[in-house]
Amino acid sequence: MNSDWNYPTTMWVGKDRVKDLSIACKTLNINKPLLVTDSGLAKSKIVINVLNNLKENGILVELYSNVVGNPTGTNVNEGADYYKKNNCDGVIAFGGGSGLDVGKAIAFMSGQTQSIWDFEDVGDNWTKANSDKIAPIIAVPTTAGTGSETGRASVILNEETGVKNIIFHPKFLPSIVILDPVLTVGLPAKITAATGMDALAHNLEAYCAPGYHPMADGIALEGMRLINDWLLEAVNNGSNIEARQNMLTAASMGSTAFQKGLGAIHSLSHPVNALNNIHHGLSNAIFMPYVLTFNKDVIEKKIIKICDYLELKDRSFDGFVNWVLDLRKKLDMPHKLSEVIDEKDFDIDRLSKMALADPSTGGNPKKLTEDDMKIMYQHSMTGELFK
Ligand SMILES: [Fe+2]
């Protein structure tokens, strides 16, 4: 199953391909990369082996690992200073969503003079950047979910405002991605399940988002098929390399497809991730059937096409919703938001405001109001799907 792809970027795929990291550096003329990862992974055998392998191959790698779960502007600025101080000439973004997002943002900020917040993904802010000064990026994901390795943005928390901002530039897209399933073998079943549901939400919301983008639609459909075929196996038998590889691929496909847009699953998720500290993939899994049934009248035909492509037994809208419910149950995930958030910690007014303002809202198949967000939150608390 080892192969090289050049779409959406150069991707080296297969078992043990992480050993080609030094070749990737040489291909991009990187002699002194900064490897960016989170503090937990930095101590792991995986990263220690990667650093040793690079050094053995003559690559003078530096390490920056002061990266937290919800990466902050401080993490990025500190990393960019470290990059400059050590005269690095490229970034290896290594890890789950946090490591990848910070790595990409450090490569970007290493050559900019303005504040990172000047490049928030609003209007054409990205054109203000000095694009000649963006360092080359190699991305190596160690989870199969966010798909940040094929994305052109990073999500960074502004500690002063408490808001997660999307920082966008086309050159955030890594020049080389290495998808090595061996790196994900040690992921616990719960994380495999939650990140897998994030990948499903990306493909599903991209497919349902309005707009003409047949390429994204095709990728999203096949991404969902891979998840249908392999997610349960990856969760139940974590050392199955074929399952792990297909999930990594499905995650990369999800973020490739969601250039088209996301939707209310993500709009509802981001606020509870930020305020209630709920895992992003888990909240996506919870909200999925409520958002599907809320959007039913405008997405029914599309959902039936997904049923056909996935060869589901019941190829109807309800059949698809039942497939989601059944998958969640098999993954041992809760049906109701109230199973993970206490009523007293549930500030529905604030959450609904944040959900409406979320950048994903524009991609929802139905135009949404703050009341719609409130109603969807209420249903997800009580467990009642929309009729
Ligand atoms: Fe997501």
- pLDDT tens, 69-111? 889 999 999 999 999 999 999 999 999 999 999 999 999 999 9
Judge whether 176 and 62 are in contact, CB under 8 Å: no
How many whole angstroms separate alpha carbon 126 and alpha carbon 120? 8
CATH domain 3-183 topology: Rossmann fold (3.40.50)
Domain boundaries, the chain: 3-183, 187-382
- According to the model, what pLDDT value does residue 38 have? 95
Q: How many C-beta atoms surround the C-beta of residue 26 within 10 A?
A: 13
* 385: pLDDT strictly greater than 80: yes
Domain 187-382 CATH class label: mainly alpha
Lowest mean pLDDT among 23-27, 77-81, 95-99, 263-267: 95-99
- Ranges of H-type helices in 331-369: 348-357
Q: Supply the DSSP symbol for 161.
A: T
CA of 32 to the centre of ligand 1 (A): 32
Taken in order 62, 63, 66, 68, the sign of the CA dihedral is: positive
The mean predicted confidence, pLDDT, of the chain is 96
Please report the pLDDT score of residue 152 as a whole number.
Answer: 93
**Bridge partners (DSSP) listed for residue 10:** 176
Distance 198 CA to ligand 1 centre (A): 5
Is the pLDDT score of 162 beyond 90? no
So what's the pLDDT on residue 344?
97
Residue type, 60: L
CA-to-CA dists, residue 103 to 47, 136, 286, angstroms: 15, 11, 30
Let me know if the fold of 3-183 is the same as that of 187-382.
no
| Half-sphere exposure in the Cβ direction for 13 (13 Å, CA) | 21
Q: Output the CA 256–ligand 1 centroid distance in Å.
A: 12
Question: Pick from 129, 107, 278, 140: which is nearest to 198 by CA?
Answer: 278
155: three-class secondary structure by DSSP: strand
Q: Which residues pair with 138 in a beta bridge?
A: 92, 176
Distance 266 CA to ligand 1 centre (A): 6
Residue 199 CA to ligand 1 centre (angstroms): 7
pLDDT digits (tens, 9 = 90+) for 221-251: 999 999 999 999 999 999 999 999 999 999 9
**Contact status, residue 189 vs residue 52, Cβ threshold 8 Å:** no
pLDDT higher at 274 or 302: 302
Centre of ligand 1 from the C-alpha of residue 193, in Å? 13
pTM score: 0.96
Q: pLDDT category, 68, cuts 50, 70, 90?
A: confident
Question: Could you tell me how far CA 173 lies from the centroid of its own chain?
Answer: 13
User: Distance from the CA of 286 to the center of ligand 1, in angstroms?
Assistant: 13
Residue 346, C-beta contacts closer than 8 angstroms, at least 6 positions apart: 276, 337, 338, 377, 381
Q: Ligand 1 mean position to 204 CA, how many Å?
A: 11
pLDDT digits (tens, 9 = 90+) for 286-329: 999 999 999 999 999 999 999 999 999 999 999 999 999 999 99
Q: Would strands 163-168 and 153-158 be described as parallel, antiparallel, or unpaired? A: antiparallel
**Which percentage of the chain shows pLDDT scores above 70?**
100
Taking the centre of ligand 1 as the mean of its atom positions, its distance from the CA of residue 261, in whole angstroms, is 11
Cα of 258 vs centre of ligand 1, distance in Å, is 10
Among the listed residues 158, 166, 383, 142, the one whose alpha carbon sits nearest the alpha carbon of residue 266: 166
